[in-house]
Structures are given as C-alpha cells and as structure tokens.
Structure 1
Amino acid sequence: MNVASLPDIAAQVSRQVQPLDWVGMCGIALPIRIGGQRLSAKADVGVSLDDGAARGIHMSRLYLALETLENEDLTPASMRRLLECFLESHEGLSNSAYLNIHVESLLKRPALVSALAGWKAYPISICAQLKNGMFHVEQKIDVRYSSTCPCSAALARQLIQQQFAEDFPTHLIESAAVLEWLGGTEGIVATPHSQRSTAQIRVQLHECAEEFPTRQLIDQAEAALGTAVQTAVKRADEQAFALANGQNLMFCEDAVRRLHHTFKRNPALKGFTVKVIHAESLHAHDAVAQSAWNWLNA
C-alpha cells in the first residue's frame, strides 16, 4: 500500500476554529537515566495547538521523539532539546511544548546507628516547558518523615508527672527506685502520638542548570527535618529514631518553616514551594502547611 495515499484526518480543517492550550499524551511508559541510574518512568508530552483551524496535532511525532531520552542522562539541556524537537515537528501549528517525567528514584540510605542500609523510593516529577522561546523547568520530590506532636508530648509529660507525684508522695526518694519506675510500664502512663508525614518539595531551577539536584534536595530536606523514615533497622536504630523524634517535636508549621529556611539558602534554586502533610494519628483528617519563596507561575 502506498503510504502517501493513506488518509491524514488530523490535517483536515477543524469545523470549529479554536486554538487549544495543550494537546498530547499522558502516562507513556519510558526508560530513562538520572545520574547514571536507569529507571522506569511515565511521560506526559504535548504541544499547544495555536493554529485554531487545524483539527489536530501529530501525536506520533511526539511519541517517537521520546526515544532520544533512552540513551542519555535526563538533564535540563536534554529536556530542552526534546521540546525544541517537538516544536520543529509542529512548525506552523504550535508555539509551546511540554514534557513531564514521573519516576521513583531509588537511594540506598544507611541506618542511624548500625551498619545496616536499605533502599528508599522517592517519588519525583520533572516538568519542563518551552513557551514562546522561554524555557522553564522545575522538579518535584516527596520526602517522607515522622512527626511527633509537641502538644501531645506536653500532655503526656504532664500525666507522667502526675503519676510520679502519686507513686512518690515523699521528698526522700532513692535514685534506684526512680530508675526502676522510669523503666517500667506503670510510671510512663502516656506517650505522645506520632504520624508518618510527607514533605512535597517543588523547586524552580535556573535556566543555566546543568543537572537536577535530586540527591542534594533529599539530603537537605531529611537533615532539616531530622526524622526521615528508615529502612533496615536494629533495636539500636529504633532507639535512635525514638530519640530523634523526641528531639524534633514538630507541628506542620514547624516542619515547613525548617524546609523553607533550608532551601532559601540553596543557590541552585530560583524559587520553591514546600507543602507538608501530617497524616494525623489522633484525627481522621490531615494537618497541612505550605510556604513559597520567589515562586513564579510559568
């Protein structure tokens, strides 16, 4: 069959003349490389349809162009080249191109005390667009951590104090008796509640950025919070984790302020938004806080 004779319905004139902001595909399976690590990803691709008389775009051209990402590291530069390719293949139709990559980055993280280590998955999205010649790229990362409620901790301490006063009514107390009381279950009558929490970090990178600061952002976030969730642990690690939680009591407001202060000092960032979600163990709803610095809507 002569390929030239096959009908091209997308090339027809639309019955309703109307430009469209975005036309493309979502959830395309794609292998990519980030920092030398080969990962399974999903890609969303698209272009604007500025020629309102055109019925549609050439989606197969976008799909096939994605192959260029299979053999090189994903960088801001490689994403820009691909967006330029999208526009070249739609010359006269489109002025803007979009590319979103969704992936889970695997990092091996050490235990707090012991020699154990394990893998952690960090959900990451990298979003780039080329609009009227202006290139914009941002990165989203989810970091999970533990948060112990300061209010719950204070209430628990008060109950322990009350129990101590009841069990030791006199002022003359032997230290051995106190140590035994502290190590038992009858004295420590209350414990504060903690919850698994998530920091959703979204950063805008400078146009000249050569790579994505994935590892740096994760390390900075986990250091600022102090209670990143763990992988393989021994009892010594679990005890160290309990100590870290006790020394880092956090409302959601405290957590987002820590992250804001940390990322504001990062020269690689053009701007950012940070949202933290504390999945409450006391309530059926979540506690949420958000902050932004120098954020520009693309």
Structure 2
Amino acid sequence: MAPSTLDNTARVMPDIAAEPRQAQAGVLDWVGMGEIEMPVSLAGDQGRTLSSGARVNAFVNLRRGDVRGIHMSRLYLHVDKALSNEPVTPASIRRLLKDFLESHADLSDRAMVSLRFEHLVRRKALASDNSGWKSYPVSITGVMDRGHFALELGLQAEYSSTCPCSAALARQLIQEQFDADFAAGKPVDREAVLAWLGTEQGIRATPHSQRSLAEVKIRLVPSFKDFPIVEIIDRIEDALKTPVQTAVKRVDEQAFALLNGQNLMFCEDAARRMQAALEQDERISDFWLRASHHESLHPHDAVAVATKGVAGGYTSLPDGLAAR
C-alpha cells in the first residue's frame, strides 16, 4: 500500500533558501521581517506593567553571497519569545539581537530590531478636576553591529503653537480699532473700555495657532536600565508649555488660551526650548529633534531641527534620516 502524502512521519523537507544561488550571488545589507504584530510590555510606575500592541521589524544582514536566504522563522520565534515573556528594557533588546545573531552565526554579523507602539498616559486637565488618556507614538530601535550595540528611543508629542508675528499683527488691528472707537482728546471711560474689550468689535483680530508636532530621537547612556518614556515626554512638554489636552471644560479651555498667549512660538523657538531641555538631561548621550508647526495660514509646515552635536552622532537631516 502506497504511503499517504499526509503521513507526518519524519522525512526530509526541501529548504530552498539554503540552496546556493550562484547566478545571483551577492551580500545583502538587511534581510528579515517587517510589520510583525506583537504585544509589548513596559514597566510603569508603582510596579505596574503597561501593555500595548506593537509593530516590529526584525533584520539581520546576509554576508554570504553563496547563500540564497536567511532563516526568517527564527527571527519571528525569537521576537515572540522575547516580547511575550518580559517587559522591554535595554538589556532585553540586547539579548534579542544576540539571539538573532546566534541563530544566524554562519550567515550574519549584524542585527537590528525596531518596535513601534502607542504609549497611553493619563493626563490631568489644566484647571478642572477631570483627566483623560493621551496617546504618544513611541519607537525603540536596537542595532548590534559586529559586537557594537546601539539603542535609540523615539518619541512624539503634540502641542499648540501660536504665531508671534500673527499676534503682533492682531494687536496692531486692535489698537487701530480702539483709536477709531475712542476719539483722541476725549475722556476715556474705564467701564466703556472694559465692555469694549469683551466684544468682537473690540477684539477684531486674533492670532492664528495650530496643532504642532515634536519629534525626538535620543540615545541613552549605556548604564540606563529602563526606558524613561514618560519622563522624557514630561521634559519636552514642560519646555513647550502648551501640550494638547484630553478632557476639556470651559475653564480648561480658558487656561489653555492663557498658556498659548504666554508662550508665543515660532518653530525655531519650540526647537530651542526642547534643545535646552534635552541638553540638561544627564541620561541622554545624544539627541535629534524636530519641531513641525502644521500651519493654519498656509498648506505647508514650518519646521526646525536641532541635534546635540556629538561627534559621530546624529546628523541634522530634516527628513528623519537622523543617524549616521
């Protein structure tokens, strides 16, 4: 009787990827898997563990031109094991990259993994007793290159920016309207002026403001054991002063309007504020940042970029290709 094709007894299965490909030989910088769906956990405050859904990219190089492909399933299984069993830390990223290389010892001497996820933080309202959840895009990228380990933490935070130029132009129009409504040489009644200031006729112009985006990439000092995500976000938002809000009542909206009026910002101002804040953080060995103001005046953004200026570190490319 002929054996069934569904028989699961041990047999040799073809491995096409391991076969030589002489006609198309060549080394490859990176080979792997992109957009792997995985859970990711991070250690939170007060002993809590925070979990999110992540997208993971896992790669190694292929330094042998005579081998057709790598063992992609091994990368997936290593990622699954690492992210399912413990919170993500710099040490766990290093171990994961070593697993990549050990499982491809005959093929690769470089490995890379990147994680992208949304980190939810509960934020208090500015003035009321309310609070709400705010989502921050986070990325973690690790590279092991011939024994050298590099780690990058990327963060994004939205804020409001009110244009200083627009504010000055609006003030000029208000002055002109006051001059027209209150004739020179006549007594000015305080109550009349106070009432006038509360009308649309009095405040005939307002400055334009827009939702803006702070993007930061940092390299932590090697001794750091955890990812200080919330701490770095807090440092950025404290420097900018006008982070977007969650739960908002009228009293919160008024407080937000006051913050915007007290923190008029060009994109250059925002970038310099973040630059100064990050330079004071001893946990950060290098950084790249970009302030993008999504203008309401015109359909293009106003952008400013800054780096720490470390030799051999980040370059100030504005398109996000930040690392040398």
Asked if residue 41 in structure 1 is aligned to residue 54 in structure 2, the reply is yes
One-letter amino acid of the structure 2 residue matched with residue 45 of structure 1: A
Structure 2 matches for 1:56-71, cutoff 5 A?
56-66=69-79, 67-71=81-85
Show CA shifts across 1:15-54 (max 9, x none).
2221111000110000110121011101000101011211
2:225 and 2:274 map into 1 onto residues whose CA distance is 24
Q: 1:14 to 1:2 in 2, by over 3 A?
A: farther
Q: Is the deviation greater in 259-268 or in 11-20?
A: 11-20
Asked if residue 149 in structure 1 is aligned to residue 156 in structure 2, the reply is no
SS state of the match for residue 51, structure 2? strand
CA shift at 1:205, angstroms? 1.5
Structure 2 matches for 1:45-56, cutoff 5 A?
45-56=58-69
One-letter amino acid of the structure 2 residue matched with residue 41 of structure 1: A
1:207 and 1:60 map into 2 onto residues whose CA distance is 30
CA shift at 1:10, angstroms? 0.9
* 2:29 counterpart residue number: 21
* 1:216 counterpart residue number: 231
* 1:10 counterpart residue number: 17
Q: List gaps (5 residues or longer) in structure 1.
A: none
How big is the alpha-carbon RMSD for the aligned residues of Structure 1 and Structure 2? 1.0
Q: 1:220 to 1:45 in 2, by over 3 A?
A: same
Q: List gaps (5 residues or longer) in structure 2.
A: 1-7, 44-48, 315-322
* 2:261 counterpart residue number: 246
CA shift at 1:206, angstroms? 2.0
1:218 and 1:4 map into 2 onto residues whose CA distance is 55
Choose which of 157, 165, 177 in structure 1 pairs with 2:192. Answer: 177
Show CA shifts across 1:235-266 (max 9, x none).
11000000000000000000000000000010
2:19 and 2:91 map into 1 onto residues whose CA distance is 35
CA shift at 1:156, angstroms? 0.1
**Contact 1:87–1:96, Cα closer than 8 Å, also in 2:** yes
TM-score, normalized by length of structure 1? 0.98
Structure 2 matches for 1:34-113, cutoff 5 A?
34-35=42-43, 36-66=49-79, 67-113=81-127
**Contact 1:126–1:138, Cα closer than 8 Å, also in 2:** yes
SS state of the match for residue 225, structure 2? coil
2:197 and 2:55 map into 1 onto residues whose CA distance is 52
2:194 and 2:278 map into 1 onto residues whose CA distance is 43
1:168 and 1:70 map into 2 onto residues whose CA distance is 71
2:271 and 2:286 map into 1 onto residues whose CA distance is 15
Asked if residue 273 in structure 1 is aligned to residue 281 in structure 2, the reply is no
CA shift at 1:4, angstroms? 4.7
Show CA shifts across 1:208-244 (max 9, x none).
2201110111000110000000000111100000000
SS state of the match for residue 142, structure 2? strand
2:82 and 2:236 map into 1 onto residues whose CA distance is 32
CA shift at 1:173, angstroms? 0.8
One-letter amino acid of the structure 2 residue matched with residue 115 of structure 1: D
2:78 and 2:289 map into 1 onto residues whose CA distance is 33
TM-score, normalized by length of structure 2? 0.90
Show CA shifts across 1:103-144 (max 9, x none).
000000001011110000000110001110000000111100
SS state of the match for residue 5, structure 1? coil
SS state of the match for residue 257, structure 2? helix
* 2:5 counterpart residue number: none
One-letter amino acid of the structure 1 residue matched with residue 39 of structure 2: P
**Contact 1:135–1:207, Cα closer than 8 Å, also in 2:** no
* 1:30 counterpart residue number: 38
One-letter amino acid of the structure 2 residue matched with residue 23 of structure 1: V
SS state of the match for residue 232, structure 2? helix
CA shift at 1:83, angstroms? 0.5
Choose which of 140, 147, 153 in structure 2 pairs with 1:126. Answer: 140
2:108 and 2:223 map into 1 onto residues whose CA distance is 25
